[in-house]
């Protein structure tokens, strides 16, 4: 469930939805801000025009006394919370519904928090005022800024009730699309994983919904799988045919060589040549079998047999198997492993063959008296299996070449072998997601297989 949730959150449809929502929100905010600015500016212009019209009416008063009487008359029927009239007469007397003492003429925006001139109550809030000098005094008209403030509040409400629901609906739609896309992508990934694991009969199931780009990708994956299955089948058939065709001639050669060696009339020099020919025939068969095995492993089919393998116990088993051979050749084989099991995911038979190849390689290419160490350790949660020796080692420039197929160092051309031992180990390592590296053991060579940590319950336990 957590993996599915993570895949949905990381899906392209949801990311595109979020990006489009963000783009829409930015455009909406910019448009909304421009609309609010234009509307507010128009409202302020209208307020200023109204102030000028009001002031025009008071200019008609013939004297200061008449103007004061007109102000008192209109103030009695005017709510100071909406409009304030204040006339500072030449004698210092203030007429109106509030006492405003402006410092200068013209338009201003002020904030009030005082008592009305007639003691009727408090005046709070912002006002837009116009002050002019009339009949020796200062006449001030103020309109409340409440309509402008209400305009801002209205725009905020419109913003909240338009953008937020739209965003929520779009996001829900994006989640639905992402879930649908995730199900379709899971089908594609499952098929690709099966193909990678060697199941060439895997096909993409019929994807739900209308055909789209994912449907076309699924069809191309199926066509690729069909082609790959046909190619691998043809390769296997060719390999089987070659094996079948070569089996009989090689057996005949071996039988004829054995008959030749049994001939009592054969000189000793000829018997030696026949023995060498038999050895070369066996070497041809071994090389051919190794190449076929490498091709089979590279096909990925052994992954279907993967299970949890105790690589520690497997290492100890092969150390016991090769200890007599090491003593016979004058070597000393040492095994070091943790007391507790160390499990990796893989094919037990192939892992055993990799260990055997590394040990045989160390015993074959080092002189008597060499110490060969088979060691298993866990580094940062990763099992690391190594076979180290104190022999001549491999020059650093030749280590990559040593992993090539049929490649043999000049110093090892006279020793038995096919040049495929390390190549087979490298192929087995790749199959198991491990990394094979050849490093200096100072002196000697150290071959390391670094495995990925195995997930719990990822595979069935080994039989």
208 falls within a domain: no
The pLDDT value given to residue 131:
92
List, for residues 394-449, the tens digit of each pLDDT value: 777 676 666 665 555 555 544 555 556 777 888 888 888 888 888 888 888 888 88
Instruction: Read off the tokens for 53.
Output: 């019209």
310 and 379 co-located in one domain: yes
32 and 64 co-located in one domain: no
How far apart CA 288 and CA 420 sit, in angstroms, is 10
Residue 122: pLDDT band with limits 50, 70, 90: low
pLDDT at 116 over 50: no
The pLDDT value given to residue 38:
92
338 falls within a domain: yes
401 and 327 co-located in one domain: yes
Cβ–Cβ < 8 Å for 185, 205: no
274 and 156 co-located in one domain: no
The pLDDT value given to residue 189:
82
- Mean pLDDT over 4-31 rounds to 72
Give the residue among 438, 199, 439 at the shortest CA–CA distance from 301: 199
165 and 30 co-located in one domain: yes
Q: 193, 228, 260: which is the final residue of a domain?
A: 193
Place of tokens 């200023």: 48
48 falls within a domain: no
- Mean pLDDT over 323-351 rounds to 87
pLDDT at 241 over 50: yes
- Mean pLDDT over 232-256 rounds to 69
328 and 352 co-located in one domain: yes
Q: Where residue 410 sits, what CATH number does that domain have?
A: 3.30.565.10
463 falls within a domain: no
Radius of gyration of the chain (CA): 47
- What does the DSSP assignment read for 245-297? HHHHHHHHHHHHHHHHHH-TTS-HHHHHHHHHHHHHHHHHHHHHHHHHHHHHH
pLDDT at 153 over 70: yes
- Mean pLDDT over 288-313 rounds to 72
Least confident among 126-135, 181-190, 334-343, 451-460: 451-460
List, for residues 305-322, the tens digit of each pLDDT value: 778 888 889 889 988 988
- What does the DSSP assignment read for 99-133? ----SSSEEEEEEEEEE-TTSS-EEEEEEEEEEEE
**Residue of higher predicted confidence among 106 and 16:** 106
Q: What is the model's pTM?
A: 0.46
126 falls within a domain: yes
Mode of pairing for the β-strands spanning 343-346 and 106-115:
unpaired
Q: 160, 193, 226: which is the final residue of a domain?
A: 193
Q: What are phi and psi of 307, to 5 degrees?
A: -150, 175
Domain boundaries, position 68: 60-146
- Mean pLDDT over 142-171 rounds to 84
Count of CA atoms in the C-beta half-sphere (13 A) of 97: 21
How far apart CA 352 and CA 349 sit, in angstroms, is 5
The pLDDT value given to residue 338:
87
Highest averaged pLDDT of the listed ranges 208-212, 268-272, 297-301: 268-272
Residue 13: pLDDT band with limits 50, 70, 90: low
Place of tokens 């094979």: 436
Element (H, E) at 347: none
**Residue of higher predicted confidence among 374 and 10:** 374
129 and 188 co-located in one domain: no
49 falls within a domain: no
Residues 6 or more apart whose Cβ sits within 8 Å of residue 337 = 312, 315, 316, 375, 376
235 and 183 co-located in one domain: no
Mode of pairing for the β-strands spanning 307-310 and 445-450:
unpaired
310 and 294 co-located in one domain: no
**Residue of higher predicted confidence among 270 and 151:** 151
Instruction: Read off the tokens for 430.
Output: 């790749």
Residue 443 preceded by cis peptide, ω within 30: yes
Instruction: Read off the tokens for 415.
Output: 């020793």
The mean pLDDT value of the chain amounts to 79
Domain count of the fold of the chain: 4
Residue 373 has a CB neighbour count (10 Å cut-off) of: 19
Percentage of the chain beyond pLDDT 70 is 78
186 and 136 co-located in one domain: no
The pLDDT value given to residue 261:
75
pLDDT at 94 over 60: yes
List, for residues 14-25, the tens digit of each pLDDT value: 677 777 778 888
270 and 382 co-located in one domain: no
The pLDDT value given to residue 457:
44
Residues 6 or more apart whose Cβ sits within 8 Å of residue 252 = none
How far apart CA 18 and CA 170 sit, in angstroms, is 9
Residue 289: pLDDT band with limits 50, 70, 90: low
349 falls within a domain: yes
pLDDT at 296 over 70: no
113 and 142 co-located in one domain: yes
The pLDDT value given to residue 142:
92
List, for residues 37-69, the tens digit of each pLDDT value: 999 899 989 989 999 998 998 888 899 899 899
224 falls within a domain: yes
Q: Torsion angle, CA of 263/268/274/277, rounded to 10 degrees?
A: 180
List, for residues 70-91, the tens digit of each pLDDT value: 999 998 888 888 899 999 888 8
């Amino acid at each position: 469930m957590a993996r599915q949730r993570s895949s949905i959150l990381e899906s392209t449809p949801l990311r595109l939805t979020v990006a489009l929502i963000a783009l829409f929100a930015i455009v909406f905010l910019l448009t909304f801000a421009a609309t609010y600015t234009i509307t507010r500016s128009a409202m302020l212009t209208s307020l200023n025009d109204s102030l000028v019209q009001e002031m025009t009416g008071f200019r008609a008063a013939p004297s200061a006394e008449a103007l004061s009487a007109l102000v008192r008359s209109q103030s009695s029927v005017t709510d100071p919370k909406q409009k304030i009239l204040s006339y500072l007469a030449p004698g210092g007397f203030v007429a109106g519904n509030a006492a405003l003492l402006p410092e200068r003429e013209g338009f201003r925006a002020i904030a009030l928090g005082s008592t009305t001139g007639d003691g009727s109550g408090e005046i709070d809030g912002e006002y837009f005022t116009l002050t002019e000098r009339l009949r020796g005094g200062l006449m001030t008209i103020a309109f409340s800024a409440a309509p402008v403030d209400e305009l801002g509040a209205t725009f905020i409400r419109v913003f909240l009730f338009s953008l937020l629901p739209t965003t929520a609906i779009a996001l829900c739609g994006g989640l639905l699309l992402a879930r649908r896309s995730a199900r379709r992508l899971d089908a594609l990934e499952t098929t690709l994983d099966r193909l990678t694991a060697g199941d060439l009969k895997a096909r993409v199931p019929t994807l739900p919904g209308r055909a789209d780009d994912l449907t076309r990708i699924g069809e191309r994956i199926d066509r690729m799988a069909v082609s790959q299955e046909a190619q691998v089948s043809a390769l296997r058939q060719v390999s089987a045919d070659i094996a079948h065709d070569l089996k009989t001639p090689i057996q005949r050669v071996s039988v004829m060589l054995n008959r030749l060696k049994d001939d009592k009339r054969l000189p000793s020099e000829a018997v030696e040549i026949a023995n060498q020919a038999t050895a070369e025939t066996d070497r041809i068969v071994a090389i051919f079998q190794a190449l076929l095995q490498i091709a089979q492993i590279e096909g990925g089919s052994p992954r279907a047999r993967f299970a949890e393998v105790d690589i520690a116990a497997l290492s100890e088993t092969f150390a016991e198997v090769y200890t007599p051979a090491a003593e016979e050749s004058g070597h000393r084989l040492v095994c070091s492993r943790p007391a507790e099991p160390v499990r990796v995911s893989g094919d037990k038979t192939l892992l055993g063959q990799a260990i055997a190849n590394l040990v045989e390689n160390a015993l074959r290419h080092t002189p008597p008296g060499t110490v060969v160490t088979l060691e298993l350790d866990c580094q940062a949660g990763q099992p690391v299996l190594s076979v180290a020796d104190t022999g001549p080692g491999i020059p650093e420039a030749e280590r990559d070449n040593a992993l090539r197929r049929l490649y043999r160092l000049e110093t090892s051309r006279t020793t038995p072998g096919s040049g495929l031992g390390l190549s087979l180990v490298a192929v087995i390592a790749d199959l198991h997601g491990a990394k094979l590296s050849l490093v200096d053991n100072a002196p000697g060579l150290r071959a390391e297989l670094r495995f990925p940590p195995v997930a719990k319950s990822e595979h069935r336990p080994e039989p």
